[in-house]
Homo-oligomer: A and B are copies of this chain.
Amino acid sequence: MQIMNQTLTTNHQDFQVTAYWLDSNQDFNNTRHQPVVIICPGGGFRYHSQRETEPIALKALAEGCHAVVLPYQLIEPDQMVYPTALQQLAKTIEWITDQSDTQKVDPERIVLVGFSAGGHLVATFNGIATNPELNTQYQLDSYRGHHAAVILSYPVIDLDAGFPKEESEKERITTDQRLWHAQDTLTKWAKPCFV
Give the B-binding residues of A (Cβ under 8 A): 1, 3, 23, 25-28, 49-51, 54-55, 58-59, 61-62, 64
Contact = CB atoms under 8 A, between A and B. Distances in A.
Majority SS at the chain A contact face: helix
Q: Chain copies in the assembly? A: 2
Contacts of A51: 25, 27-28
Contact of A61 (B23, B49, B50, B58): B58
A43 to B, nearest CB: 9
Contact of A50 (B27, B54, B59, B64): B27
Given A26-B50, A61-B62, 9 more contacts: A1-B3, A1-B54, A3-B3, A23-B54, A27-B50, A28-B51, A58-B58, A58-B61, A59-B62
A179 to B, nearest CB: 27
23 contacts: A1-B3, A1-B54, A1-B58, A3-B3, A23-B50, A23-B54, A25-B50, A25-B51, A25-B55, A26-B50, A27-B49, A27-B50, A27-B51, A28-B51, A55-B62, A55-B64, A58-B58, A58-B61, A58-B62, A59-B62, A61-B61, A61-B62, A62-B62
